[in-house]
Structure 1
Amino acid sequence: MSTSSSTYSAPLSSITAGGFIKLIGLLLIALGILGMMVAAFGGEAASPVSTGLTGIAAVTAGGLMYIWQVRRQKSVAEQNNGAWQNDMTTRGASAWVTGVVLTGFYILLYWFPTTLHGLVLAVEPLSQWLRNRPADHWFLYGTFYTLAILVMGVHALLKYRNSNYHIIRTISVMFFQLGFAFLLPALLLALNQPEFYFSYFWPLKYDYLFPGTVSYLIDNGAALGVFMVFWGAVLSFIATPILTYYFGKRWYCSWVCGCGGLAETAGDPYRHLSDKSKKAWQWEVAIIYPILGFIIITTLVLWINSWSEGRLLGNLSSGFSSTYGFFIGAMFSGVVGVGFYPIMGNRVWCRFGCPMAAYLGLLQKHFSRFRITTNGGQCISCGNCSTYCEMGIDVRHYAQQGEPIIRASCVGCGICAHVCPRGVLKLENGPRENRFAATPLIKRSDVGILN
């Protein structure tokens, strides 16, 4: 007769300390989402401030707790494990649901902002404290956008914690979004100055050099407004070519830009979904450069019409501007650019639609010192570099041939070099001489073992 006895363990007794932290994080996220839903749809049943603002804080805290525990317990070699097995990162059902929710949010934001009134009220105290004026749907969007970069920036810092380059790069995009794209514009409004984003400029912030915007800044900002116009013009036409000559487009696309900042943080889990096919590259070239041309023509047409006091082109110039604003500024950069992260990867807007990326890309390819050099003799054709290139570049092809990667679309994020197990790739700002020269490869005929 057996004398062994069985013991009963409580359902939570097997949860480790790390598992408990993850559980608490998920619980906070769930409660936070519930609070924001009550703020959005609860009407007068509950205070939008107490439910919505508390919900936003709970989602933020819960997300940080969950990310910290999940990423910290993985070694640096395991950070990408399961990328092609996870339903969320392989265009599974949860990815499609996320994409629909993001797309729906942008549609409401741009064309039905009154539906977000409850959430706007939730951030009213924050708006009054920062800007000394009532909140609107754009302040709500800026708050969500900044929190997404900060929270997922922690995710990126933990994921790439063994690389100083990626740590500094991630801190940089977090700093510019929080400081230059959120707090500084709010401070300007609090001081009754025109709202201005110093980290955005033409042609990305296309209206900053439109005559109407220039007049508004000068008339309402006085000397500061003149500086804002001067800042935008200098950054667009002087600083951008100089910085791109030395550092390639990465100085902006991967270090400063808010669009790139969101892609490198919140969009990082989806970077492997970018299309690497030749057809995708052909579409990229066919779309992005005409968009750059369109904004150049639009800017010129607006100024011509302004100088002629509307006699030359009439309402045609405003038609150009509104057309660009609807199809490119709203539909492409917002609805498609972010809403399609879980389906098409994290750089849809940067790759196919951003006029700033097109402008920087032309400078990078033809006038820059930047390139990614390859040590072809060490390449084992594992394909990690191509898989995790968010811009859809077949990096492995270049590495196999020992050719440097000099592509207009490359944003210099450096993930290809980070995931290479052999150290084949290296980001360089070398001299332009022999910039396209390939690394000499050892051929079979050069060995001569049997001779």
Structure 2
Amino acid sequence: MTSPQTLTADAPVPEVAGLEKLLLTLVALGLLLLLPVAFDADAERARWCFFGALALISAGTLGWAAWKYGHQPEGVYNHNLWLRASTSRGAVAWITGIVLTGFYVILYWFSSDNGQGSYGPLNQLVHALDPFSKALRNKPSDQWFLYGTFYTLAILLMGARALWKYRSSPYHLIRTGSLMFFQLGFAFLLPGLLLAFQRPEFYFSYFWPLKYDYLFPDTVGYLLKDGGPALGVFMMFWTAVISFVATPVLTYFFGKRWYCSWVCGCGGLAETAGDPYRQLSDKSRTAWRWEVRIIYTVLGLIILVTALLWVGASGAVPALQGITQPLSKAYGFAIGSVFSGVIGVGFYPLMGARVWCRFGCPMAAYLGLIQKHFSRFRITTNGAQCISCGNCSNVCEMGIDVKQYAQRGEPIIRASCVGCGMCSTACPRGVLNLENGPRENRYQGSQLIHADSLRILS
């Protein structure tokens, strides 16, 4: 395991093996094949090319992951991350960021249905999925089904890569498997099946305030009406209980990791497709100050918008009825689209994989407040064994300078920590440990806890 401090600017990057080049070429060909699909007027030919492209991407990615990580001993090896153009904000990273950002811009603002089943630049890609969409959802594909398919495939393929890379850690194997399961089952297949049975497309793995409109009056009315008396009520009950009861309880016992690193689709994409970029998160104090300013502002804003919508819907303040809808649309545009999508994913190769989770997600802010002030979760450290290698800080995607805590033997209790466990896995000395211990010992270092335990035993 290497860190930025151990690399020099002129250190050679190992030559890529022939088989690795071949497998990566398959991925590149698959991505390139998507371009003619978008402009092919022949729907049947475009469909075959589309699924051929997905097959090439899948085979290349899975084969590359098996070869790359299967031919080296178990353990975390992040060699040459700061020397490769793809993982150190080089030309490849910039091109990747521009392509991702461009895709989100086209998806959000240039691919709306024109009423005749046409989806702009993505039209052929969208309709290539019609057979699959009809089989799953009993309706033709649309731009959001295309996006959901790409999103889920990215988590599954890059999740397989993570399983190979972190196969030495049972924690990461189970955690990655959980993210793949919830994305495929609860965020892709189940909503589609609900549509097939003419029920609302409901995502059971997303809650308010992340899925902010689930507690908006219009959404509540829609779910109760179209969901039926039983299912609609259950959906509302599920949202309310998870948001206001289960979330505080689970966060008290396990920290925010139960959701951000085990369930959430945003976290799922960050932990799988975004794993190559985790070292890019800014660890400066300035970045932390902006993080606090922005994320809690977003949380306060969605609480305010939700409250105003309900007050307006009640008719108690008639003047609000003309303000609340534009306000909710503005929030959806600025936060739900630009921040979480265009910036949150498009900037992966430049700012790290948790830009949205760190700076903008209201759910992360909500969970973080509970974790910092009330939870039993913390990461204990043993400063006596820390060798200051910096591996822990290098892999922290939330911008926490873990090494500073480890050197002092202080427990890490931060609102932003998602409990991914990468700092512990990357540590060569076993200095860091994720724990859900008693709150009375929460702010004590591992050495003090060990001393207390010896005193009690004696």
TM-score, with length taken from structure 1: 0.91
- Pair 1:303-2:301 in alignment: no
Alignment partner of 1:140 out of 135, 146, 159 = 146
Contact 2:76 / 2:426 at 8 angstroms: preserved in 1? no
Q: Counterpart of 2:433 in 1: which secondary structure?
A: strand
| Residue in 2 that maps onto 1:29 | 27
Deviant stretches of 4+, over 4 Å: 18-21
Alignment partner of 2:255 out of 245, 248, 255 = 248
Q: What is the deviation of 1:226?
A: 1.0
Contact 2:43 / 2:124 at 8 angstroms: preserved in 1? no
Q: What is the deviation of 1:126?
A: 1.1
Superposed CA deviations along residues 48-107 of structure 1, whole A, max 9, x for unmatched, are 211112212221122111221112112234621111111100000000000000000000
Alignment partner of 1:39 out of 34, 37, 54 = 37
Q: What is the deviation of 1:23?
A: 4.8
**Could you tell me how far apart the structure 1 residues matched to 2:409 and 2:337 are?**
41
Contact 1:91 / 1:342 at 8 angstroms: preserved in 2? yes
1:189-208 to 2 correspondences below 5 Å:
189-208=195-214
**Could you tell me how far apart the structure 1 residues matched to 2:446 and 2:158 are?**
37
Q: Counterpart of 1:372 in 2: which secondary structure?
A: strand
Which residue identity is paired with 2:188?
A: F
Contact 1:173 / 1:255 at 8 angstroms: preserved in 2? yes
**Could you tell me how far apart the structure 1 residues matched to 2:92 and 2:29 are?**
19
State the number of aligned residues.
424
Q: What is the deviation of 1:19?
A: 5.7
**Could you tell me how far apart the structure 2 residues matched to 1:386 and 1:279 are?**
16
**Could you tell me how far apart the structure 1 residues matched to 2:220 and 2:431 are?**
48
1:370-385 to 2 correspondences below 5 Å:
370-385=377-392
Which residue identity is paired with 1:368?
A: S
Residues 310, 116 of structure 1: CA spacing in aligned structure 2 closer, same or farther, 3 A cutoff?
farther
Q: Which shifted more, 305-314 or 187-196?
A: 305-314
Q: CA RMSD in A?
A: 1.6
**Could you tell me how far apart the structure 1 residues matched to 2:23 and 2:409 are?**
46
| Residue in 2 that maps onto 1:329 | 336
Contact 1:38 / 1:52 at 8 angstroms: preserved in 2? no
Q: What is the deviation of 1:315?
A: 1.5
**Could you tell me how far apart the structure 2 residues matched to 1:28 and 1:90 are?**
23
Q: Which shifted more, 243-252 or 67-76?
A: 67-76
Contact 2:192 / 2:201 at 8 angstroms: preserved in 1? yes
**Could you tell me how far apart the structure 2 residues matched to 1:59 and 1:295 are?**
38
| Residue in 2 that maps onto 1:75 | 73
Contact 1:36 / 1:53 at 8 angstroms: preserved in 2? no
Q: Counterpart of 1:173 in 2: which secondary structure?
A: helix
| Residue in 1 that maps onto 2:9 | none
| Residue in 1 that maps onto 2:137 | 131
| Residue in 2 that maps onto 1:169 | 175
| Residue in 2 that maps onto 1:214 | 220
**Could you tell me how far apart the structure 1 residues matched to 2:423 and 2:226 are?**
46
Q: Counterpart of 2:435 in 1: which secondary structure?
A: strand
1:230-269 to 2 correspondences below 5 Å:
230-269=237-276
| Residue in 2 that maps onto 1:347 | 354
| Residue in 2 that maps onto 1:392 | 399
Q: What is the deviation of 1:161?
A: 0.6
| Residue in 2 that maps onto 1:60 | 58
Q: Counterpart of 1:120 in 2: which secondary structure?
A: helix
Residues 309, 117 of structure 1: CA spacing in aligned structure 2 closer, same or farther, 3 A cutoff?
farther
Residues 150, 301 of structure 1: CA spacing in aligned structure 2 closer, same or farther, 3 A cutoff?
same
- Pair 1:278-2:276 in alignment: no
**Could you tell me how far apart the structure 1 residues matched to 2:364 and 2:27 are?**
35
Contact 2:261 / 2:271 at 8 angstroms: preserved in 1? yes
| Residue in 1 that maps onto 2:321 | 314
Q: What is the deviation of 1:117?
A: 0.5
- Pair 1:435-2:421 in alignment: no
Superposed CA deviations along residues 307-349 of structure 1, whole A, max 9, x for unmatched, are 1177241221012101110000000000000000000001000
**Could you tell me how far apart the structure 2 residues matched to 1:170 and 1:46 are?**
36
Contact 1:385 / 1:396 at 8 angstroms: preserved in 2? yes
Alignment partner of 1:362 out of 353, 365, 369 = 369
| Residue in 2 that maps onto 1:153 | 159
Which residue identity is paired with 2:382?
A: N
Q: Counterpart of 1:88 in 2: which secondary structure?
A: coil
**Could you tell me how far apart the structure 1 residues matched to 2:248 and 2:384 are?**
34
| Residue in 1 that maps onto 2:91 | 93
Contact 2:223 / 2:232 at 8 angstroms: preserved in 1? yes
Residues 342, 117 of structure 1: CA spacing in aligned structure 2 closer, same or farther, 3 A cutoff?
same
Give the unaligned 5+ runs of structure 1: 1-17, 442-451
**Could you tell me how far apart the structure 1 residues matched to 2:427 and 2:419 are?**
15
Superposed CA deviations along residues 29-54 of structure 1, whole A, max 9, x for unmatched, are 23322331111022338722111122
Bigger radius of gyration: 1
Which residue identity is paired with 2:61?
A: G
Q: Counterpart of 2:380 in 1: which secondary structure?
A: strand
Which residue identity is paired with 2:197?
A: L
| Residue in 2 that maps onto 1:5 | none
